[in-house]
Amino acid sequence: MTETRRTVRLKPKAEARAIRHGFPWVYADELVTDRRTQALEPGTLAVLEDGERRALGLVTVNVKSKIIARMLDRDPEAVIDEAWFATRLRCALDMRERLFDAPFYRLVHAEADGLPGVVIDRFGDVAVIQPNAAWAEAHLDVLAAALRAVTGVGTIIKNGTGRARGLEGLAEETAVLSGGIDAPVPVRMNGATYMADVLGGQKTGLFFDQRPNHAFAARLAKGARVLDVFTHVGGFALAALAGGAESALAVDASAPALALAAEGAKATGVADRFSTRQGDAFDVLETLGREGAQFDLVICDPPAFAPAKPALEAGLRAYERIARLAAPLVAPGGYLVLCSCSHAADLTAFRNASARGIGRGGRRAQVIHTGFAGPDHPLLPQLAESGYLKAVFFRLD
């Protein structure tokens, strides 16, 4: 090291064992926050010590966040430079290249890929970085340089939006860091073509995490009438049509998202079987119920109703309501797919809320499949939050 590293220390009663066994976070009430620590700039690198002053590794510190420290490297002497980032990125890239034939995937899934608070989605020659932690914001130029060197992408976009940045005390900002782009990026998945707005769309422009669940739903969709609620840019609907669905109605509150979905339907060659309806999902489901509409396959993939524990009860009620409104729309013997991307709602709680809603909707169901995010969204075993996505497939009587 060229300079003396700052140090931070766990409180005597804090559990150092979890950190030693791979847990990547230190919460604010676990760290000694004396005047020296309080003065550290968000994103400062420091050596984390246990209560007996034994080094546990190199962390990044943000006293403005409830996650006050994030483990970067078990080596307290590690230098966080372009070479360090390149090593992490090459490891992540190697796995994705083994799994996918084309360069369209989540390249970095935050803590699970050793880059806490960092998400990188790749769209061919375009990469979108979400620096959701203060340290990543501070090292963004070096990270982008390593990303160019390792992947060869020509265009890199910073998507600095979302709830996670607010929790870190970071401002919202979207910027082109290198290259340029002036149109949505076509992405081929599961036989369909999706149009990703990497500059102005939700998150990075496309949700790669649902890819395996789209594929499973497509197997149920042959000859089916499909309703896809919270479709974003075509989500389950386009995969279902590519899989042989008779028709698909896509519902979303966002007119720009539905326009991209329609472009995707045209590019996929299924525009004649694809239709859209803009509106609040709950309102549209109620309207369809009054109209007596029936579908063979209904999918509801809402945003996170329970993004944190304080919102859990309200979120579970919202999931139950979605199930209650959607269940009557499913034709006898048809299928209902309910999804949750809420960190706070685990699989059991979400499935139980969904089952209650189906029962309140007057239907009886059996679970035929449970899906999760694809392998480009790896799960860190010590961090349950990295395995956030659940998709439960029901067959209704």
Q: What angle in degrees, to the nearest 10, is found between the helix axes of 255-268 and 235-242?
A: 10
- pLDDT-based confidence at residue 3 (cuts at 50, 70, 90): low
Give the least confident one: 62-71, 76-85, 158-167, 215-224.
Answer: 158-167
- Which residue in the list 91, 300, 339, 341 is annotated as catalytic? 341
**Residue 6 near residue 44, CB atoms below 8 Å:** yes
Average pLDDT over residues 203-215: 95
Is the predicted pLDDT of residue 280 greater than 70, yes or no? yes
Average pLDDT over residues 347-370: 98
Cα(338)–Cα(293) distance, integer angstroms: 18
* Per-chain mean pLDDT for the chain: 95
| Cβ neighbours, 10 Å, residue 124 | 15
Active site residue 341: yes
* Residue 387: predicted pLDDT: 87
Residue 388 burial by Cβ neighbours in a 10 Å radius (0-12, 13-18, 19+):
buried
| Cβ neighbours, 10 Å, residue 220 | 21
Enumerate domains of the chain plus CATH numbers: 6-73 (2.30.130.10), 82-178 (3.30.750.80), 193-396 (3.40.50.150)
* Residue 202: predicted pLDDT: 84
The fraction of the chain above a pLDDT of 70, given in percent, is 99
Give the least confident one: 250-264, 288-302, 352-366, 373-387.
Answer: 373-387
- Read off the tokens for 385: 């939050």
The β-bridge partners of 178 are 156
The fraction of the chain above a pLDDT of 90, given in percent, is 92
Average pLDDT over residues 103-110: 98
Condensed to tens digits (0 to 9), the pLDDT of residues 331-355 reads 999 999 999 999 899 999 999 999 9
Is the predicted pLDDT of residue 1 greater than 60, yes or no? no
Condensed to tens digits (0 to 9), the pLDDT of residues 242-253 reads 999 999 999 999
Is the predicted pLDDT of residue 72 greater than 70, yes or no? yes
* Residue 294: predicted pLDDT: 98
* Residue 167: predicted pLDDT: 87
DSSP string covering 300-320, please? E----S-SSGGGHHHHHHHHH
> Closest Cα to residue 244, out of 222, 265, 224, 263?
222
